[in-house]
Homo-oligomer: A and B are copies of this chain.
Amino acid sequence: MVKGFRAAAVCAGIKKNKKKDLALIVSDTPAAAAGVFTKNRVQAAPVRLDKQRLSSGVCRAIIVNSGNANCCTGDQGMADARAMTRLAADALNADEAHVLSASTGVIGQHLDMDKIRAAVPGLVSGLSENGFAAAAEAIMTTDTRPKLVFEQGQMGEKTYSLAAMAKGSGMIRPDMATMLCFVCTDLEIPAADLQQVLVDANEASFNRITIDGDTSTNDTVLLLANGQSGVRAKTPADFRAFAALLENVLGKLARMVVEDGEGATKCVEICVINAASRQDARQMADIVANSSLVKTAFFGEDANWGRILAALGRAGVAFDPDAVDIWFDDVKMVKQGLGCGAQAEAAATAVLQKKTFAVTIDVQSGLQQASVLTCDFSLDYVKINADYRS
């Protein structure tokens, strides 16, 4: 429970599988609002709408549908996104400009507004302090489970609360906000500070994960703070405390998104250490984390370190292949570019049989490091994505 926030979800009939597909998150009072969005040049209508409206820094409600991305839908799509927010605003007696929206699902089809119009009254009447679980379910597409985190924070003697939900689980790669994530807190904090805290926490969480190297047109992370706990963040120390809490929560959700990546059976942290620069480290970690050959080897539980070196070699970063060490968790598999033999291989294979492990790559070029969270590339990934629209 987060003071002054309520949520609800219904089945409006947008998804073909008759599951919940329309969610509403409401703050009883106007909340300070912040957002980060996809960097894809193709942006869905709700993304463009939210970016305009967030300039006010105020939000009363977020209305979200799954099953249709409302992207590549032209002027009609913008009108539909606006109409969705107007339906919510009217039912809540709120200013339409203070309602945000998000959509996720198939690209290139118009929303069925009749279905949404018919569903909004039931959605509003169902609003409840306990509605977050239902909302987290309604924003799912190929996710196999809802992703919801509750946390409490301390500021001096006082306690405030935070609820955060996210959905994955394809079209996800680093350097972009993730698919959809909505965070509500009853802390009081100015909108400008909220935005900075969100950008930083996003950078340290959702921007460090990848599922398939593709980037959605709809990625949206929204953070609302309505101050209803009576706790106010004022000092730099307060902001830092909230930032740490938020980073922790978004980090948990980001890991949940990777663990539930399309078809994923493994969650793997790729750490590049001792690189010449942070950017080099990041570039090298990214190329390994997105290599189809590395990811299929993870699926096959095969300690195929040659593919890791081959991927590093096309990262566009200078390094000496003959100086590289590679560990699977604490098993040293490669020393100065050469395999460490059958015993190391057997131990590394045991590591790969775990659901979660780390690959550490020491490139011996400097002192910087970076890590990226990825999943394996499985038969189910292909099955899910070959059949997605049917």
> Does A291 sit within 8 A of B, measured CB to CB?
yes
Residues on B with beta carbons closer than 8 Å to the beta carbon of A302: 386-390
> Does A297 sit within 8 A of B, measured CB to CB?
yes
Nearest chain B CB to A216 CB, angstrom units: 7
Q: Do B214 and A41 have beta carbons less than 8 Å apart? A: no
> Does A250 sit within 8 A of B, measured CB to CB?
no
Contact of A382 among B69, B212, B382 (CB under 8 A): B382
> Does A296 sit within 8 A of B, measured CB to CB?
yes
Contact of A313 among B42, B106, B292 (CB under 8 A): B42
> Does A328 sit within 8 A of B, measured CB to CB?
no
One of A95-103, A183-191, A267-275, A304-312 at the interface: A304-312
Contact of A379 among B171, B216, B293, B382 (CB under 8 A): B382
Nearest chain B CB to A161 CB, angstrom units: 36
One of A28-36, A222-230, A315-323 at the interface: A315-323
Q: Do B73 and A309 have beta carbons less than 8 Å apart? A: no
State the main secondary structure of chain A at its contact with B.
Answer: loop
Nearest chain B CB to A223 CB, angstrom units: 24
Residue in B closest to A215 when the chains form the complex, CB atoms: B314
Q: Do A383 and B379 have beta carbons less than 8 Å apart? A: yes
Residues on B with beta carbons closer than 8 Å to the beta carbon of A41: 312-314, 317-319, 321
Residues on B with beta carbons closer than 8 Å to the beta carbon of A150: none
> Does A279 sit within 8 A of B, measured CB to CB?
no
Q: Do A386 and B300 have beta carbons less than 8 Å apart? A: yes
> Does A196 sit within 8 A of B, measured CB to CB?
no
Q: Do B378 and A382 have beta carbons less than 8 Å apart? A: yes
Q: How far is the CA of A238 from the CA of B172 in the complex (A)?
A: 51
Contact of A296 among B73, B310, B386 (CB under 8 A): B386
Q: How far is the CA of A219 from the CA of B344 in the complex (A)?
A: 29
Residues on B with beta carbons closer than 8 Å to the beta carbon of A293: 170-171, 212, 214, 385
Contact of A292 among B292, B297, B378, B383 (CB under 8 A): B292
For A203-237 the 0/1 string (1 means CB < 8 A from B) is: 00000000011111100000000000000000000
- CB-contacts of A354-390 with B (<8 A): 377-379, 381-383, 385-390
Contact of A72 among B39, B321, B381 (CB under 8 A): B321
Contact of A74 among B306, B314, B322 (CB under 8 A): B322
For A327-340 the 0/1 string (1 means CB < 8 A from B) is: 00000001011110
Q: How far is the CA of A215 from the CA of B215 in the complex (A)?
A: 22
Residue in B closest to A77 when the chains form the complex, CB atoms: B338
Q: How far is the CA of A377 from the CA of B296 in the complex (A)?
A: 12
Nearest chain B CB to A252 CB, angstrom units: 26
Q: Add 10 more A-B contacts to A43-B321, A296-B386, A297-B386 (CB < 8 A).
A: A39-B314, A72-B337, A72-B339, A107-B304, A107-B309, A214-B291, A215-B310, A292-B385, A302-B389, A378-B382
Q: Using CB atoms and an 8 Å cutoff, list the residues of chain A in contact with chain B.
A: 39-43, 69, 71-74, 106-109, 170-171, 176, 212-217, 291-293, 296-297, 299-300, 302, 304-307, 309-314, 317-319, 321-322, 334, 336-339, 377-379, 381-383, 385-390
A-B residue pairs, 4 tightest by C-beta:
A107-B306, A300-B386, A42-B313, A296-B385
Q: Can you list 14 residue pairs at the A/B interface with Cβ under 8 Å?
A: A41-B321, A42-B309, A43-B313, A72-B334, A72-B339, A74-B338, A107-B304, A108-B309, A171-B293, A292-B381, A302-B389, A302-B390, A381-B382, A382-B382
